[in-house]
């Protein structure tokens, strides 16, 4: 059987790493992993030439500017990576007639809702990062072609920089920490998102013609938590005695505004691709086991 060739951008990031380390797909997938050094997604000519010469069957775009606070000072740079980059990939995908799977964020919403956000809810980003990610979505919808935008939230993994790894470090170094308790969302293990993305690829490979226009889906682990809840759960799993104290958003000011309510409704994703997305606490345990293996602790 011919392998599915997937061009992966941002392969050194946490989601890119989770995709590359996903078990069970090596028989069917031939990855073309790239990060900034191999393929700068903001360079249109480079992107078009790359896609022409490697002839992938899919593009999964994990490349992004993700420094939420720094984006307030570097809006133009963030916009180039989060909007011009995806536009270049979409143009290349459209001319090759292949699907582009692009990752977006809960930060496109205001965070002032009281019920889980569905795909058709009106975006209203509050900070620079969210604005650049929304600009990326808009340019993909305008370019058209076989586009799948997957919005996710509160991503963490055993790779890169993220809240889970920060809590593990603080749990070793500190006797007590304060963590914001009045912002809620759905923590999402990047390993599960990677599985979800591969389920999209498998679905597409089996249902030719189902994707004729851009589509948006929401993906996050099931269940809801505050950052405080997530921190307490990490400490428990890691066996840390570090005390976690709840803080209000006002007590922990940051340069970029954070959504108070970040829950995404995943019914659309579950109905088509993966009915039983795991609960966040079980995925957190799974991530911790992977972390222990990675750091040779077990
Ligand atoms: N992290 C979260 O909590 C979260 C939440 C919701 C949605 N998301 C979205 O999920 C996706 C994956 O996030 P992540 O956490 O895996 O991000 P990440 O760890 O920051 O990885 C992004 C990767 O893209 C690379 N990159 C930056 N500019 C590039 C360019 N011009 N060309 C090629 N590669 C470039 C980065 O390289 P450098 O490190 O060298 O810059 C990095 O390796 C992103 O679209 C993000 O917006 C993330």
pLDDT tens-digit map of 256-289: 999 999 999 999 999 999 999 999 999 999 999 9
User: Model confidence at 25, in pLDDT bands (50, 70, 90)?
Assistant: confident
Residue with tokens 């679905």: 203
Q: How far apart are CA 131 and CA 124, in angstroms?
A: 8
User: Model confidence at 48, in pLDDT bands (50, 70, 90)?
Assistant: very high
User: Model confidence at 158, in pLDDT bands (50, 70, 90)?
Assistant: very high
Return the pLDDT at 116: 97
Average per-residue pLDDT in the chain? Answer: 96
Q: How far is the CA of 175 from the centre of ligand 1 (A)?
A: 32
pLDDT above 60 for 142: yes
> Which residues pair with residue 188 across a beta bridge?
155
Return the pLDDT at 276: 95
Return the pLDDT at 108: 98
Catalytic (active-site) positions: 129
All structural domains of the chain: 4-161+187-222+262-279 (3.40.50.720)
Q: Which two tokens stand for residue 130?
A: 């969210």
Long-range contacts of 8-11 (CB under 8 A, 24+ apart): 8/32, 8/33, 8/34, 8/60, 8/62, 9/34, 9/35, 9/39, 9/41, 9/59, 9/60, 9/61, 9/62, 9/63, 9/85, 9/89, 10/35, 10/41, 10/61, 10/62, 10/63, 10/64, 11/35, 11/62
Q: Which two tokens stand for residue 134?
A: 């929304």
Evaluate whether 159 touches 228 at the Cβ level (below 8 Å). no
Evaluate whether 156 touches 189 at the Cβ level (below 8 Å). yes
Q: Which two tokens stand for residue 173?
A: 């170094």
Quote the DSSP letter at residue 214: -
Check pocket membership of 160 for ligand 1, CB cut-off 6 A.
yes
Ligand 1 atom with the smallest distance to the CA of 41 is 32
Q: How far apart are CA 247 and CA 8, in angstroms?
A: 38
Helix 227-238 to helix 280-294 angle (10° resolution) is: 50
Q: In this prediction, what percent of the chain has a pLDDT beyond 90?
A: 94
pLDDT above 70 for 298: no
Return the pLDDT at 212: 86
User: Model confidence at 26, in pLDDT bands (50, 70, 90)?
Assistant: confident
Check pocket membership of 68 for ligand 1, CB cut-off 6 A.
no
| H runs (alpha helix) in 41-186 | 44-54, 75-79, 85-96, 128-143, 163-173
Of the residues 47, 50, 64, which should be mutated to test ligand 1's pocket, given the most ligand atoms within 8 Å of the CB? 64
Give pTM, 2 decimals.
0.97
User: Model confidence at 147, in pLDDT bands (50, 70, 90)?
Assistant: very high
Q: How far is the CA of 107 from the centre of ligand 1 (A)?
A: 14
């Amino acid at each position: 059987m011919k392998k599915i060739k997937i061009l992966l951008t941002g392969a050194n990031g946490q989601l890119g790493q989770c995709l590359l380390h996903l078990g069970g797909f090596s028989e069917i997938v031939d990855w073309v992993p790239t990060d900034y050094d191999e393929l700068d997604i903001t360079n249109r000519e480079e992107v078009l030439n790359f896609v022409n010469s490697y002839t992938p069957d899919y593009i999964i775009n994990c490349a992004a500017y993700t420094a939420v606070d720094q984006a307030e000072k570097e809006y133009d740079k963030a916009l180039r990576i989060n909007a011009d980059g995806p536009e270049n990939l979409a143009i290349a995908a459209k001319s090759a007639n292949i699907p582009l799977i692009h990752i977006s964020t809960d930060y496109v919403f205001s965070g002032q809702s009281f019920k889980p956000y569905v795909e058709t809810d009106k975006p209203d980003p509050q900070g620079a990062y969210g604005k650049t990610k929304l600009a990326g979505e808009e340019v993909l919808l305008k370019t058209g072609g076989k586009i799948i935008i997957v919005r996710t939230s509160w991503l963490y993994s055993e790779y890169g920089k993220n809240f889970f790894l920060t809590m593990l470090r603080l749990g070793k170094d500190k006797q007590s920490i304060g963590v914001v308790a009045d912002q809620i969302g759905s923590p999402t293990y990047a390993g599960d998102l990677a599985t979800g993305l591969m389920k999209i690829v498998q679905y597409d490979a089996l249902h030719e013609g189902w994707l004729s226009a851009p589509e948006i889906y929401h993906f996050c682990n099931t269940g809801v938590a505050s950052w405080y809840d997530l921190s307490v759960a990490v400490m428990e799993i890691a066996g840390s005695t570090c005390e976690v104290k709840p803080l209000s958003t006002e007590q922990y000011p940051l340069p970029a505004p954070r959504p108070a309510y970040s829950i995404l409704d995943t019914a659309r994703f579950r109905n088509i691709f993966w009915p039983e997305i795991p609960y966040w606490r079980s995925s957190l345990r799974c991530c911790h086991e992977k972390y222990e293996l990675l750091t040779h602790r077990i």
